[in-house]
Chains A and B, each alone.
Chain A
């Protein structure tokens, strides 16, 4: 049963610290998405990649957030420096941009910035 995996599942950090979240997409999927979920804003798209190239990162605060895909099996989302308003659940999703058009979501990383 192929799944998207995310690490860590939970992260508590202090304001100003760097946070790195990792995502392993389903093998063979060439599209990766990063979402942020908060009570106030709901689900927001931060960035997405196709074939490891960033296609759109307009949803990300550029001054502190960065997203990369060092290889086809790893996507990273970094926040530096972190702020309390970054507290949220961050989801990674992967998919194939053809056929079923389904995005498969990971379990999320719950980030708390104190």
Chain B
């Protein structure tokens, strides 16, 4: 079984400042990793994913994440946030083979302050 821990439930940050949203996972098998974003009253939208290859993954809206196998982490970063980035961000994991089930973290609410 897999589990995901998002270490911060809320992250306030000033506009144009950098941000890092932390995600750690636990799994006995190799995994694929995902970050999704949820804007108010909407469904989830994929930001980026790590399947294999380069550990630095770039996604939409200027976000990137780095897979660190030794630390079992997949932290999300953006060098300069905008007001429009205010949303809830979910880290998710699924086994690298076989099942297609995603296990989500509890989410991190990012609030960008003007």
Contacts and interface: CB of A to CB of B under 8 A. Distances in A.
B45 interface: yes
Interface string B87-114: 0001000100001111111110000000
B100 A42 contact: no
Chain A facing B: main interface SS: strand
Interface stretch (A14-22, A62-70, A71-79, A94-102): A94-102
Interface size class of A (residues with CB under 8 A): 20 to 34
Interface string A40-58: 0011010010100000100
Interface of A: 4, 31, 33, 42-43, 45, 48, 50, 56, 91, 93, 95, 97, 100-108
Q: Which has the most chain A C-beta neighbours within 10 Å: B44, B45, B94, B104? A: B44
Nearest to A107: B43
A91 B42 CA distance: 10
